[in-house]
Amino acid sequence: MPEPKKPSIFRKLFRSLLRSPITRPVIQRMGGSMLRHMPGQITCRQFEDFLVDYLEDRLTAEQKKLFQRHMKVCPMCRASLHSYLKVIEMGQAVCAEDDKDHVFDAAPQELIDAIIDVARKNKPK
Amino acid sequence: MSQRFSKNLSDKDGVMKIGDSDEADLVSRLVRGDEDAFATTVKENAGWMLNLARRFTNCDADAADCVQESFAILFKKIGEFQGRSKLKTWLHRVVVNQALMKIRKKTNLREQSLDQYLPEFDRNGLRIGPVRISDESVESLISNKEIAMKVRLAIAELPDIFRVILILRDLEGYSTAETAELLEIEEGAVRTRLHRARHALRKILEPTLGAKYLGDIL
């Protein structure tokens, strides 16, 4: 099995700068400023604005390219999207579990009797 | 119509062995006012209908009312059922409508906000604050009963309009256009509220997911 690639010195440095509460805001500000002024890049805010349309495949080809490019360069947005999708999947998984457990469960007998009773009374003559 | 529900229908049909001809027979008996057919329909469907209504209304009594009212509609309008969709698909739509009516009576679906859960950005438009992320798979997270219960509670905790949109779009598989039609709002409003509901759900669940700060996993 190939050994996992060791992180480069730059990545290690970037990690430690991003971890520190003193340097993190500086790094973030620099990154934000770069994204705002760099042609062909969007900011995290714009990324967020595009998100729902991206997931519904409603972006234009150009917008989609910008969205995907931002995702490549911004670890924060990548992580944000990852957890955003994970929470949706968790909701769906829990819901599917509940349906599996309850679909064939009988509703309370009193409810069933009441419904049948009403139907009988209102039966067209 | 609901993709997830359609999928469930085929699963259910497989177990119940109700084919198209059986359903046509059941419907024609219902139209004739056959009491046994009514009883069978109620017994076979009340369970999942109650579960669905409970998911929307967050209240057992309201959910039971919704199911009762849905069957009252079925018995009244079965003559109009033209068999273009499955009976269960039709019932699903009726229960959803009844649940929405119930919620509308209790709250104003338009006047609620979730702004506090939205991500924050600095003046350059860059994300502020730590992003937390969990590297555990959804299956392994959900297999923990405590976490599964927290997900249920987090959905139930959302304000009505957001919960309803999240359930319709993400859990029941309705399209944005169908959701907008059901709620009588613009499609854009559905997207905005769905986005907020997802963010709120994430924020509520974050502390329970054993999530790590992004800086720790880079």
Note the pLDDT tens digit of each residue in A11-23: 788 778 777 777 7
What's the rounded mean pLDDT across residues B141-146?
88
A69: in domain: yes
A84·B50 Cβ contact <8 A: no
Question: From the list B35, B125, B141, which residue is nearest A43 (CB)?
Answer: B125
Grade residue B172 by pLDDT with cuts at 50, 70 and 90: very high
A113: in domain: yes
Give percent helix, percent strand, percent coil of chain B, each to the nearest 5.
70, 5, 25
A20: in domain: no
- For domain B3-106, give the CATH number: 1.10.1740.10
Mutant choice from B127, B167, B172 vs A, greatest count of A C-beta within 10 A: B127
Q: Pick B103 or A28 by higher pLDDT.
A: B103
For residues A77 and B126, what is the distance between their CA atoms, to the nearest angstrom? 9
Chain A, window 6-45: residues with a beta carbon less than 8 angstroms from a chain B beta carbon: 11, 14-15, 18-19, 24, 28-29, 31-33, 35-36, 43-45
As a whole number, the mean pLDDT across chain B is 80
Grade residue A101 by pLDDT with cuts at 50, 70 and 90: low
A52: in domain: yes
Residue A122: what pLDDT? Answer: 67
- Nearest Cα residue to B45 out of A95, A93, A115, A120: A115
Chain B CA closest to residue A111? B64
Query: B3-106 with B115-217: one CATH topology?
Result: no
Ranked by mean pLDDT, which of B2-11, B113-122, B187-196, B206-215 comes out on top?
Answer: B187-196
What count of other Cβ atoms lies within 10 Å of the Cβ of residue B171?
A: 23
Question: Using a CB-CB distance cutoff of 8 angstroms, which residues of chain A are in contact with residue B199?
Answer: 84
For residues B39 and A112, what is the distance between their CA atoms, to the nearest angstrom? 8
Q: What are phi and psi of B133, to 5 degrees?
A: -145, 140
A10: in domain: no
Residue A31: what pLDDT? Answer: 64
Relative to beta strand B212-213, strand B132-133 is antiparallel
Check whether A117 has a pLDDT greater than 50.
yes
For residues B207 and B218, what is the distance between their CA atoms, to the nearest angstrom? 20
For residues B205 and A66, what is the distance between their CA atoms, to the nearest angstrom? 30
Note the pLDDT tens digit of each residue in A50-94: 999 999 999 999 999 999 999 888 888 888 898 899 999 999 999
Confirm whether pTM is higher than 0.80.
no
Percentage of chain B with pLDDT > 90? 31
The domain spans of chain B are: 3-106, 115-217
A48·B139 Cβ contact <8 A: no
Q: Which amino acid is at A14?
A: F
A104: in domain: yes
Q: Which amino acid is at A22?
A: I
- For domain B115-217, give the CATH number: 1.10.10.10
Residue B2: what pLDDT? Answer: 46
Question: Using a CB-CB distance cutoff of 8 angstroms, which residues of chain A are in contact with residue B7?
Answer: none
For residues A28 and B214, what is the distance between their CA atoms, to the nearest angstrom? 13
Structural domain boundaries enclosing A99: 39-121
A35·B124 Cβ contact <8 A: yes
Residue A65: what pLDDT? Answer: 94
For residues A24 and A26, what is the distance between their CA atoms, to the nearest angstrom? 5
Residue B135: what pLDDT? Answer: 77
Chain A, window 41-60: residues with a beta carbon less than 8 angstroms from a chain B beta carbon: 43-46, 48, 51-53, 56
For residues A43 and A74, what is the distance between their CA atoms, to the nearest angstrom? 9
A115·B68 Cβ contact <8 A: yes
Check whether B109 has a pLDDT greater than 70.
no
- How many structural domains comprise chain A? 1
The C-alpha of A12 sits at a distance from chain B's nearest C-alpha, in angstroms, of 9
Cα angle, residue A84 at apex, residues A21 and A7 outer, rounded to 5°: 50
Note the pLDDT tens digit of each residue in B4-35: 444 343 333 333 334 566 777 888 888 887 88
Contact in structure between B114 and B200 (CB atoms under 8 Å)? yes
Note the pLDDT tens digit of each residue in B37-88: 888 888 888 888 998 998 999 888 999 999 999 998 888 888 777 666 788 8
Check whether B98 has a pLDDT greater than 90.
yes
Q: ipTM score here?
A: 0.77
Q: What is the DSSP string of chain A?
A: -PPPPPPPHHHHHHHHHHHSTTTHHHHHHHHHHHHHHSTT---HHHHHHHHHHHHTT-S-HHHHHHHHHHHHH-HHHHHHHHHHHHHHHHHHHHHHHHHHHHTTSPPPHHHHHHHHHHHHHT---
Q: What are phi and psi of B120, to 5 degrees?
A: -110, 150
For residues A57 and A64, what is the distance between their CA atoms, to the nearest angstrom? 9
Check whether B217 has a pLDDT greater than 50.
no
For residues A27 and A76, what is the distance between their CA atoms, to the nearest angstrom? 12
Chain B CA closest to residue A79? B133
